[in-house]
Chains A and B, each alone.
Chain A
Amino acid sequence: KAGVTQTPRYLIKTRGQQVTLSCSPISGHRSVSWYQQTPGQGLQFLFEYFSETQRNKGNFPGRFSGRQFSNSRSEMNVSTLELGDSALYLCASSLEEGGITEAFFGQGTRLTVV
């Protein structure tokens, strides 16, 4: 059974640009959550999508957005990039709600903003 796949693995962007990250969940999983991981703030919840609807949202500015497609694949978009957006972005998929059932994480996308 294939795991959670995130693309790309590494990305370098310039301040002010926008970026789109992709996540393919485990087959059959309907919930996809996104996290930002930094040395200073640790692992912070961005948002969760379930059956194409955003169900939960963390405390991030509106520059961070996402969506989920009918096949459960999800994308995350960050507009007007700032240096502080440099982080490892992790996607996790779950059978049901991510806060209750086991979350399976991808390897992450390392975003560097210069």
Chain B
Amino acid sequence: AQSVTQLGSHVSVSEGALVLLRCNYSSSVPPYLFWYVQYPNQGLQLLLKYTSAATLVKGINGFEAEFKKSETSFHLTKPSAHMSDAAEYFCAVSAATSGGSYIPTFGRGTSLIVHP
């Protein structure tokens, strides 16, 4: 079984400040991990993906995430927030089922609010 927990349904930062969105996962087998962003009235867009090639993953729009197996975490960061980063962010985990399929499980999402 797999699960994802995103700590904090809302995160508020000032423009130019560090962005840190937390994600902890549970998986009995090595997982794939994803971060997606959703703007109002839009579908989800992939920010970055972890596939075991490197623990520090760089994504689009200056975002990056670090896979920490010992902490079962995959937190998303960005050094300096922009107003355009205000959106809903989803962490997702995907691991092989007993049948060999990969079904992604999404976290509840974290709404990022950026203040001028």
Contacts and interface: CB of A to CB of B under 8 A. Distances in A.
Task: Tell whether A and B belong to one assembly.
Answer: yes
Interface of A: 4, 35, 42-45, 48, 55-56, 58, 90, 92, 97-100, 102-108
B84 interface: no
* Chain B: interface size category: 20 to 34
Interface in B23-77: 32, 36, 41-46, 49
Q: Say whether chain B's binding surface is mostly helix, strand, loop, or mixed.
A: strand
A82 to B, nearest CB: 22
Interface of B: 32, 36, 41-46, 49, 90, 94, 101-109
A37 B76 CA distance: 22
A103 B101 contact: no
A113 to B, nearest CB: 20
Which among B41, B43, B101, B105 has the greatest number of chain A C-beta atoms within 10 A?
B43
